[in-house]
Structure 1
């Protein structure tokens, strides 16, 4: 593996609270636990790094307590930073409610990660063997969107992996169409795929416990999941996407990469927290046990 994962999305800090159910309108519930953890794009990068990928965070990050927490976590995973922290604002936070079924619900407060300026991206020069990760969230921050629109046409042939995210319907349809015509691989869940309608030539559609469906130039292949006891689904999609990217960097086919991504996502939902991606050896062990 010689290339890197160049992540252009957003790292935030998650306040994760386990609740029996979401509170009713105007109501209140007691959380059985609460944890402050790095999240957002961090989950994708941690998953890729734990599968052996070199990772560069090309997004922006802020000063203050949350920015310090995010940078410390990135350093612990061996993720390199492309930029110094912005001086005017801290990194943003996301409140994550995880209910008794393992489902999660989010509320986001944007910080420095939504202020990626063009002059910062100009300092990042991907190589032909890199995988560049794009997040749909970037197109919901006007500054990030503008910087990426200027930067992407200058890529030297790097493979582009796009994850539109749950707010896909909030992305301008024209922007979305332009993106889908230029990316190499789409990674999304089934609800997002339905919102898109027509998929690009290469797409990996995550279907939860069922696994995923790989679309490759007109051919559709179901890649089954791995049965596990679900504890917390937070970050499972990010784990899947990060491991998918790591395997593509190794030169794996999309189908082979999807198998390992399914295994990684299955292991991640057996643990609480957003950044619960397994290491490469754990994935190997699960694959060996089920073959």
Structure 2
């Protein structure tokens, strides 16, 4: 079986609203555009698939209008769904307010994706050489969180376990975070999340070194227009800094998921860590130039050397 990335990141629908600026509390603003499309875990899964790597979406999907959007999007990318079919309840959605510089602010309404069950996981059996990725949203949910924590700690050695905590990084109960952190191979965070975890206001290598992680865990801090920095894991004490190309940012929604998806796809394909990090930054820089969240490029569109 070819190496596989199993995504436990729940998919939902993004309702993106372009605004000239965020309104003040109690105020209003006239939107300049809107889009509705699959988002959340779909951003990452589609990024993996577009690198030519097998991806399996293992989180629940609802049966209403939002679930239909997600299923259609996954089918178009050739990504199988393994969670048990739901008989009632829809998938959730996130309202994303996108400002002119591409920055986005979210309000999320969870759906059936927040209630993963042990039975949903019986259809997937990751083996050494595969990767499993989860989000902080799913660890924070009272339904999915305990199930994921139990399951992740049971995975065999050699399965790469990755966590992207996301905006809810401080909402994951400490005891649950500690259980999962002990099994992690990769922790990837943006600057805001790194600062929340560490209590540091630094940037670059100084911020990277402040992020708490177990020994041997690869820590990646995504720094937006400045690229990313990484250390730990196969890098040991070496710090890798990958600058991003200068591009006009239209919409940064999903850029972190795309970075993580491409990074995992390259790693399970055998790329070196340096090459995988460079490809991830390059893919995210391409993606932010287009409106929408699932804008990851295909491997042959990246102009990157194989490796």
Question: TM class, shorter-chain normalised?
Answer: over 0.9
Structure 2 SS opposite 1:81: coil
Which stretch has the larger CA shift, 157-166 or 41-50? 157-166
Aligned to 1:56: 56
2 CA distance for matches of 1:259 and 1:169? 28
Q: Aligned match of 2:281 in 243, 255, 262?
A: 262
Q: Normalising by structure 2, report the TM-score.
A: 0.89
1 CA distance for matches of 2:272 and 2:134? 20
Distance 1:37 1:108, change over 3 A: same
2 CA distance for matches of 1:127 and 1:213? 28
Aligned ranges for residues 181-192 of structure 1 at < 5 Å? 181-192=182-193
Deviations 1:58-113 (A, max 9, x none): 10111011101100000101111002431120000110110112110000111010
Q: CA deviation at 1:167?
A: 1.1
1 CA distance for matches of 2:129 and 2:285? 28
The aligned length equals 286
Structure 2 SS opposite 1:203: strand
Aligned to 1:2: 2
Q: Root-mean-square deviation (CA), in Å?
A: 1.4
1 CA distance for matches of 2:36 and 2:106? 14
Structure 1 SS opposite 2:5: strand
In structure 2, list runs of 5 or more residues that go unmatched: 199-211
Which stretch has the larger CA shift, 184-193 or 87-96? 184-193
Aligned to 2:262: 243
In structure 1, list runs of 5 or more residues that go unmatched: none
1 CA distance for matches of 2:161 and 2:219? 12
Structure 1 SS opposite 2:89: coil
Q: CA deviation at 1:251?
A: 1.2
Structure 2 SS opposite 1:132: strand
Asked if the contact 1:6–1:56 (Cα under 8 Å) also holds between the matched residues in 2, the reply is yes
Aligned ranges for residues 14-29 of structure 1 at < 5 Å? 14-29=14-29
Q: Normalising by structure 1, report the TM-score.
A: 0.94
Aligned to 2:222: 206
Structure 1 SS opposite 2:239: strand
1 CA distance for matches of 2:300 and 2:123? 35
Aligned to 2:175: 174
1 CA distance for matches of 2:192 and 2:110? 24
Q: CA deviation at 1:47?
A: 0.6
